[in-house]
């Protein structure tokens, strides 16, 4: 049997077969009317910098995305800015740590419910030499001594964050008007940055600052600062999740926001939050509290 070849040296029957197969594939595609897959759902989250700087969100984000087949967009900012994102409708859920401001956000109708999911404590850290002599004092006593002696600098977040709110609260409890503190001299420095960069600035200047323990531990290897004040009810630091209310902010994705809050407070994730940081730092960066307000220290 002889075969007929075309000018490229292939059997003509071979090329005809290819054309038939190609035509069948095109016809099949046309007949089925295949359409592109729908876009993946997205959930927008505004989180405080300490939850981001410690790496907790980077740890939890892929787990949530896989569980619910959703894309999580996490924006980190100070608590004040995160709450503003919620009011503007830029996000669907916020995770922050300033109870009074969270309750105000809900009272205004912007949030559904405040759900605590983790906590830790604030610290006042500073140079090991401790020029102001605040080691072991209460937060209020430490701030009074910083103000009265002027020994050593203090670096404030100065960014309307939850940590900045806590700092202002301590100054108030110490008996000072915050505006007077801000203008008390060159020893008081406003960083206007997140917690990690503020710690780095304080370390470079050998200054005191207020920090949450989680961010301090995650940055400790880069710092020349030590904990000096770590006792007192004022230092409790609770993180809460709040779904944005679609009745007040049209377009807010309540269903997915509720799933994220359920995820954060689920036994499995609470256990992971409770063990986060233990292997590297010898203690957890956060303590899980699954929707319940933790007690005082």
Q: Alpha helices of the chain — where are they, by DSSP H? A: 12-32, 49-53, 56-68, 79-88, 99-107, 139-149, 162-173, 178-182, 195-205, 213-219, 254-265, 267-275, 278-281
Q: What are phi and psi of 245, to 5 degrees?
A: -80, 115
pLDDT digits (tens, 9 = 90+) for 224-278: 999 999 988 899 999 999 999 999 999 999 999 999 999 999 999 999 999 999 9
Instruction: Report, as ranges of residue numbers, the positions in the chain whose pLDDT lies below 70.
Output: 1-38, 295-297
C-alpha to C-alpha distance for 71 and 205, rounded to whole angstroms: 40
C-alpha to C-alpha distance for 292 and 269, rounded to whole angstroms: 15
Taken in order 19, 24, 30, 36, the sign of the CA dihedral is negative
Position 35 scores a pLDDT of 60
Position 170 scores a pLDDT of 97
Question: How many other CB atoms sit within 10 Å of the CB of residue 248?
Answer: 15
| CA atoms lying within 13 Å on the CB side of residue 208 | 27
- CATH topology identical between 42-120+236-288 and 122-230: yes
Position 294 scores a pLDDT of 84
Position 27 scores a pLDDT of 44
Taking the domains of the chain in order of start, what are their residue ranges?
42-120+236-288, 122-230
- Which top CATH class is 122-230? alpha beta
CATH of domain 42-120+236-288: 3.40.190.10
Position 293 scores a pLDDT of 82
Position 9 scores a pLDDT of 44
pLDDT digits (tens, 9 = 90+) for 160-180: 999 999 999 999 999 999 999
Position 291 scores a pLDDT of 76
């Amino acid at each position: 049997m002889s075969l007929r070849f075309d000018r490229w040296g292939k059997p003509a029957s071979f090329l005809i077969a290819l054309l038939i197969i190609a035509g069948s594939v095109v016809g099949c595609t046309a007949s089925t009317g295949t359409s592109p897959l729908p876009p993946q759902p997205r959930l927008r989250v505004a989180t405080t910098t300490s939850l981001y700087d410690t790496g907790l969100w980077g740890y939890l984000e892929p787990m949530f995305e896989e569980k619910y087949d959703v894309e999580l967009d996490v924006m980190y900012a100070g608590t004040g800015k995160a709450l503003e994102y919620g009011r503007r409708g830029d996000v669907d859920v916020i995770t922050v740590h300033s109870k009074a401001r969270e309750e105000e956000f809900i009272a205004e109708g912007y949030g559904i419910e405040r759900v605590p999911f983790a906590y830790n404590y604030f610290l006042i850290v500073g140079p090991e030499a401790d020029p102001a002599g605040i080691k072991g004092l209460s937060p209020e006593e430490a701030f009074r001594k910083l103000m009265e002696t002027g020994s050593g600098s203090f670096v404030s977040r100065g960014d309307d964050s939850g940590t900045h709110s806590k700092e202002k609260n301590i100054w108030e409890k110490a008996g000072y008007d915050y505006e007077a503190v801000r203008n008390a001299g060159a020893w008081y420095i406003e960083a206007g940055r997140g917690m990690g960069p503020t710690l780095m600035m304080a370390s470079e200047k050998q200054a005191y600052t207020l920090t949450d323990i989680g961010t301090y531990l995650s940055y400790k290897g880069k710092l020349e600062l030590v904990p000096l004040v770590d006792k007192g009810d004022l230092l409790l630091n609770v993180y809460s999740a709040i779904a944005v209310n679609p009745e007040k902010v049209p377009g807010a994705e309540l269903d997915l926001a509720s799933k994220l809050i359920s995820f954060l407070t689920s036994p499995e994730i609470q256990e992971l939050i409770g063990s986060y940081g233990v292997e590297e730092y010898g203690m957890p960066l956060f303590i899980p509290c699954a929707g319940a307000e933790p007690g005082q220290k």
